[in-house]
């Protein structure tokens, strides 16, 4: 079995990647060496910077991922700051922000950018997107992050009410992972 390192501290992301990669016989091993997440306008910039930083200190092939929740009526907030916002105010804070502003338009999109880094290749980026809406209340106990408040298009469940396979069939991360896996199948 082949092996790829996933530079992440997020166990939820790791489990989702392990499930998808196991289908093609690649073992995903967590490495929590970390990298600075720059303040930028796009997830692509954050991921590219992360790859460049990790390549300076890590010689094995690896992947990393940056994701964000972009809420239309909040002009894309929290966007590239999703992790920070989640760790400071969480799902409850986002729901309160939307309820306090009497928001009727709850359209949102989750975006994911996976980056593949290897010392002899330029970084490759793989982008996935999932449109949906923000729920009125938190629902479900599965997943992580904003999963309890995000309902993907063509579903009545939040990500937190889905098992990993069901979530991957909808999710932004599942879509970017599929593109990454297609890349691995070709190399």
Q: For residue 174, what pLDDT is reported?
A: 87
- 66 carries an active-site annotation: yes
pLDDT at 73 over 70: yes
The 10s digit of each residue's pLDDT in 1-21 is: 589 999 999 898 899 899 889
pLDDT class of 175 with cuts at 50, 70, 90: very high
CA atoms within 13 A on the CB side of 71: 23
Task: Go through the domains of the chain in sequence order and give each one's CATH number.
Answer: 2-186 (3.90.950.10)
Helix%, strand%, coil% for the chain, nearest 5: 40, 25, 35
The 10s digit of each residue's pLDDT in 100-116 is: 655 678 999 999 999 99
The 10s digit of each residue's pLDDT in 97-154 is: 888 655 678 999 999 999 999 988 889 999 999 999 999 999 999 988 999 999 999 9
pTM for the model stands at: 0.87
- As given in the structure block, the two tokens for residue 43 are 């997830």
Q: Spot the catalytic one: 41, 66, 92, 182.
A: 66
Q: For residue 41, what pLDDT is reported?
A: 87
Mean pLDDT of the chain: 92
């Amino acid at each position: 079995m082949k092996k790829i390192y996933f530079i992440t501290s997020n166990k939820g992301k790791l489990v989702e990647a392990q499930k998808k990669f196991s289908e093609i016989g690649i073992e995903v091993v967590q490495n929590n060496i970390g990298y600075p997440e720059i303040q930028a306008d796009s997830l692509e910039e954050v991921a590219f910077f992360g790859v460049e930083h990790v390549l300076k200190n890590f010689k094995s092939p690896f992947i990393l991922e940056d994701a964000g929740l972009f809420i239309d009526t909040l002009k894309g907030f929290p966007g590239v700051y999703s992790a920070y916002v989640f760790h400071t105010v969480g799902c409850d804070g986002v729901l309160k922000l939307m309820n306090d502003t009497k928001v009727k338009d709850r359209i949102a999109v989750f975006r994911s950018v996976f980056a593949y880094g290897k010392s002899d290749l330029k970084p490759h980026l793989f982008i996935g997107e999932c449109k949906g809406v923000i729920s009125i209340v938190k629902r479900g106990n599965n997943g992580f992050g904003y999963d309890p408040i995000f309902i993907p298009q063509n579903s009545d469940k939040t990500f937190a009410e889905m098992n990993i396979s069901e979530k991957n069939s909808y999710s932004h991360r599942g879509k970017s992972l599929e593109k990454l896996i297609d890349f691995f199948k070709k190399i």
